[in-house]
Amino acid sequence: MREDVQKLRHILYRLKQKLVDTSATARWIKSKIWIKPAPGVVTEVYRQDQDISRYFDWSDLNDKIARTKLREFTERYAREPDVVYLVKGDLVIEPRHGLAIQEGRQFVAESGTLSHIYLKPSYFRYLRHRLFNRKYSSFDSIVHCDGFAGMNLCHFIYDTVNPVLFMYRRGMITTRDPILISEKIYQKPYFQYFLRSTFMGELNWLRQKEGEWFRVREFRKAFVSMEIFKETYSLIKAPYRPGRKIFLNRRSKYQRNIKNLPELRLVLDKFGFETVCAEDLNYLQQVELFRDVKYFIGIHGAGLTNLLHSSIPDLRVLEIFTESLVHASFYRFLKMLGVGHYDAITGSTFDVNHNFTVDVKAFESKVADLLKAPGE
């Protein structure tokens, strides 16, 4: 009964998100409410063009759907630059997504993230606060980091760790500069792990609490290319013990589950794979698990971000997609970091509950290939 309620909540959430944020109507309405900032509010203070296409030759994928969609995605974003913006004006930063608004109806898109480009502030909340509450925490200059995206582990690396690491390593921020972070993200176990284990614990984090509005005169914000993953990986390297065979499953309440998993379990048991759900482990246990893994099978999802804790050159990966969602987020950094072996299998399209099936014979063949010694 509890799972049925959870599935209903997911369906209602998707409908709400489409209605409020992603539908053509919602985007049109917001395009009429919000306007671009005046010239001079946003300036580009650093830019370096990048091209990651050299890391990919597409010879490692024989799943036609996965190869086609992963290639399209990777080539579309292969030339993302490293960019740092300086935003100056009479700025307020709302607490829901950490988005910045220049006085009036000027929305600063550079305060968001590329992966959530559709998000815009709620004009009703902004107007209500401006007219009736008018309480702000004021700062002259901050570094804008992440007010929302890092609630997901994958986006935490992409939108929190990577930009801050990029700016810190290049002397663009110091340990004295206040760096905006949502309080909800700050309290996440993986954020706390990075505070304890990396340079991030030395930085001056400015935590935006729920319902707290900021007023700032200027902020800097970085958007970085995939090249930064070389530095990210070197940042979190630790003693590795590669050897275990792991299948990373998902609890049904999170959706994107395999409906015929019992049939796949027979294959996994045959080849000696352990089944693990990341949500059953605390974050330190997840880190320790991924340091041990050598043969990895997983359903596409945020948990695969933890492959950064693995010995990637020794790693052999099989990623499971649904035809409705083939995304290159993990494929790209694994290939760039020299993964030992990568392959993918694409299942059916989503059903109404965002679940899917996987062909058992094709899956068994993929698992057998995964376990072959290099060069066989």
Instruction: Report all structural domains of the chain as residue ranges with CATH numbers, in order of start.
Output: 20-62+81-234 (no CATH), 238-370 (3.40.50.360)
Instruction: Give residue 215's pLDDT band: very low, low, confident or very high (50, 70, 90).
Output: very high
**Rounded CA gap, 95 and 97, in Å?**
6
pLDDT band at 250 (very low <50, low <70, confident <90, very high): confident
Query: What does the pLDDT look like over 8-29, one tens digit per residue?
Result: 565 665 666 656 666 777 677 7
One DSSP character per residue, 46-75 reads EEE----GGG--STT---HHHHHHHHHHHH
Distance CA 310, CA 290 (A): 5
pLDDT, average across residues 364-368: 97
Token pair, residue 324, equals 């409705």
Give me 150's structure tokens: 């890092």
pLDDT of 254 over the 80 cut: no
Return all residues near 218 (Cβ < 8 A) that are at least 6 apart. 86, 87, 88, 89, 91, 140, 141, 142
Does residue 252 register a pLDDT over 80?
A: no
Contact 195, 236 (CB under 8 A): no
**Where would I find the H helices in the chain?**
2-17, 24-33, 64-76, 123-128, 153-156, 162-169, 183-186, 189-197, 229-235, 261-270, 283-292, 329-336, 360-370
What's the pTM?
A: 0.91
Please write the tens of the pLDDT for every residue from 178-209.
Answer: 999 999 999 999 999 999 999 999 999 999 99
For the residues 270-298, what does the mean pLDDT come to? Answer: 95
